[in-house]
Structure 1
């Protein structure tokens, strides 16, 4: 038996039904955005990726479920020039 935490047992500020719908990477991105949303509004996928040890493509792939889910942030795809930019408001 493994004793490592599963995505379902990870503690987040999401309601249980939302948490079950998000992958570990999506939860990591959401936690990062929550921490930064007070001081920053626009985020480039590339810069999120650098902070979290992911590729920009991984971030871009995992953002749409956050946009569509019922989370405590408003996340909107904002721009495409030199990488995707996301507008995030708390």
Structure 2
């Protein structure tokens, strides 16, 4: 789960994207930029630019975000990271 402290370092669009990812995350999920864009009222380009920013600072979100592929839209692989306590 995310908290306001974790989200404080992200801009409004990034916060919306993170909330969207968490609402659909179940282990490992693939998201297309254009699908996220359509659901959040953003352009795919905005989603891609903001996903890159989220990816750079994802350590506090317990997410692993990878740019996975390109076809007609960039695909992002999002995985719930194991917490330190679960890994021990």
TM-score by length of 1: 0.77
Q: Distance in 1 between matches of 2:4 and 2:56?
A: 15
Q: Which residue of 2 aligns with 1:74?
A: 64
Residue 68 of structure 1: CA displacement?
A: 1.2
Q: Distance in 2 between matches of 1:68 and 1:14?
A: 18
- Number of residue equivalences: 78
Q: Distance in 1 between matches of 2:4 and 2:35?
A: 28
Asked if 1:43 corresponds to 2:31, the answer is: yes
> Alignment partner of 2:8: what SS?
helix
Tell me which protein shows more helix as a share of its residues: 2
State the Cα RMSD in Å: 1.9
> Alignment partner of 1:41: what SS?
strand
TM-score by length of 2: 0.78
Superimposed CA distance per residue, residues 40-77 of structure 1 (whole angstroms, 9 cap, x where no aligned partner) = 61000000000111110110110011111122211100
Task: Answer whether contact 1:34 1:73 (CA < 8 A) is retained.
Answer: no
Structure 2 residues not aligned, in runs of 5+: 81-88
Tell me which protein shows more strand as a share of its residues: 2
Structure 1 residues not aligned, in runs of 5+: 1-11
